Structure 1
Amino acid sequence: MLVLTDQQADEMLSRLTSYCKEYSLSVTDTELRKCIQHLDLVLETNKTTNLTRILNIEDAAVLHILDSLVLLPYINKAPEGALLDMGTGAGFPGIPLTITMHRKATYIDSVGKKVDAVNSFVDVLGLKHAHAVHDRLEEYARSHKKQFSVVTARALAPLPILVEYAAPFLKDGGLFVITKGHPSDEELASGMSAAKICGFTLLLNDAIDLPEAWATGSSLFLKRVIRHPFHCLVQMAWQGRIRLPRCFT
């Protein structure tokens, strides 16, 4: 370990094991140790590259590792195929999900230093079917339409914009998982309108409470794409924020 002591790593493993049992997550000790190693790499790299503002070890274990792993029961129900983590940052939730699932994975971010860091994490962790890409989402979508069965995003942007970004990447029947804090009713309504226009149907709007001091939790939105209607390019013009055709041209 680089930042964590062996004792801290063991204590974190014990806590995460307990949390996984509490949330009925099928994660092995070996996988959890690799997740802890990833976090250790993040904390070390964060000394020179801004990857996370969460520096407290206990907070990071819950808000980075556990908050990623709680998505497993939902993502495991998705069709087989590759995963795309949009705006991956330090590799959350993408890397913990890759460690615990048998899916090829791509992590994309527009910040080159973050992508370099994540690719170094991938190498150290031995994730042979994963890589990070330095690109803007709208540009990457041009050459990667319908290539992913799962797309994940944390609090990257307002819901309508996240929907716009994700739509071209997903195969028909694919799953889009968004984790956000507590979006306003207005944001949720506009997000659902965008989702309907872009061919998504809402599977579940849930709140997963994190344990103990983190009990406020994070909201989980699951949407499954059913079609990619090109007429949505015109209908989405009311957004006024993103010119959607760039994702489809």
Structure 2
Amino acid sequence: MLVSRCKFTGISAPFSVGAFVKHLAVPLSTRLHCALVNAEGGPQSRAVHCPKFQALKSHQKEQLHLYVDALLEWNQRMNLTAVREVGEVMERHVEDSLSIVPPIRDSYLSRCGASCGKISVVDVGSGAGLPGLVLAIAEPDWQVTLVESMRKRCVFLEHAVNLAGVSNVEVVNGRVEDIGNDSCFREHFDVAVARAVAEMRVLAEYCLPLVRVGGLFVAAKGHNPEDEVKNAETAIRSMGASLLQVCPVESHGPYGQRTAIICLKGHPTPRKYPRSPGTPAKEPL
């Protein structure tokens, strides 16, 4: 796995994953995995009834089990998510991330004129790997790049990717403002996704420079994003894109109705990556 493929201003040299893991002293436990698979009653039993999770193949479920175990183990030492229970992680994060797969597939097939069997996806502000790592497990033919600015979270992502045996993921440590200006990544991806990162206006400026002409930007939002979308219209147009669809997404988790905001990249973005003043903090997970 590659943590920092290109060099960016202000990003230090590659670091030792092994040394960081040793420093954390967090041994992998099978306790959480067993609870997820075998418990009866309580949140754990509800987790395995998530419809989209249940639709996966057995080895994909096993990979997600391992990922959730690692997430909860490392969460005892790092601030990865406010969710602490297996069932909540499955409903709030895994099932919720899986819910954006159908909109991505449907929109790509109908608008991009090609099969979505082998596409490149970038998850901007991946954090704990949501939704990018979940998408990579659910769609093993997709090549997924997880972009995360915090080095500690990148170490966790590398650990989770290796532990779950996911071969179609690359982890990149860097600020999206720098990555969007780098030729290694600029207008390189078929699809950019973002979940719980920032408001739509800012997301458009973060994500669209990474999307190739003819590609998609998909933002996972709550049930009532109309004001966000309206406020983002100018930013979307300035990035060479148009609003394609605002579609409700079926979600069985506690969030209730979710929405996928889908933009189509129509022409190259301005050469200089825009920087939005007063960028809001990352949305809570």
Matching residue of 1:42 = 71
Aligned to 2:163: 124
- Higher normalized contact order (CA 8 Å, seq sep 6+, divided by chain length): 2
Which digits, 9 at most, give the CA deviation of each residue in 1:70-96, with x for residues without a partner?
Answer: 111122243543111111111011111
| Among candidates 104, 107, 119, match of residue 75 of structure 1 | 104
Match of 2:268 in 1: 228
The CA RMSD over aligned residues, in Å, is: 2.7
Aligned residue identity for 1:191: A
Give the whole-Å Cα distance in 1 for the aligned partners of 2:121 and 2:127. Answer: 16
Paired residue for 1:91, among 129, 139, 145? 129
Which is helix-richer, 1 or 2? 1
Contact kept? 1:115, 1:134, Cα under 8 Å: yes
TM-score by length of 1: 0.83
CA deviation profile, 1:132-169 (whole Å, cap 9, x unmatched): 11100011112211111111101211111100011110
Establish whether residue 207 from structure 1 lines up as the match of residue 245 from structure 2.
Answer: no
The DSSP-based 3-state class of the residue aligned with 2:242 is strand
Q: Which runs of 4+ in 1 moved over 3 A?
A: 10-18, 182-186, 239-242
Letter in 1 for 2:81: T
- Structure 2, unmatched stretches of 5+, are 1-28, 109-115, 280-285
The count of corresponding residues between Structure 1 and Structure 2 is: 235
Q: Give the match for residue 93 of structure 2.
A: 64
Matched, 1:33 2:33: no
Structure 1 alignment gaps of length 5 or more? 243-249
Percentage of pairs with the same residue: 23
Match of 1:141 in 2: 180
**Alpha-carbon distance in 2 for matches of 1:55, 1:241:** 31
- Cα 1:5–1:100 change in 2 (3 A) is closer
The alpha-carbon distance between structure 1 residues 4 and 61, as it changes in their structure 2 partners (threshold 3 A), is same
Compare 70-79 and 4-13 and name the one that shifted more: 4-13
Tell me by how many angstroms 1:30 deviates.
2.0
Matches within 5 A, 1:177-192: 177-182=218-223, 185-192=226-233
1:123 to partner: Cα distance: 1.0
**In structure 2, distance between residues paired with 1:215 and 1:165:** 25
Residue of structure 1 equivalent to 2:32:
4
**Residues 13-36 of structure 1: CA deviation (Å, up to 9, x unaligned):** 885455128xxx852222122112
| 1:18 to 1:64, Cα distance in 2 relative to 1, 3 A | closer
Q: Any idea what the Cα deviations from partners look like across 1:92-132, whole Å, max 9, x if unmatched?
A: 11111101211111101111100110011111111223121
Q: Which amino acid aligns with 2:266?
A: I
Which stretch shows the higher mean deviation, 176-185 or 46-55? 176-185
Could you say which residue in structure 2 is the equivalent of 1:52? Answer: 81
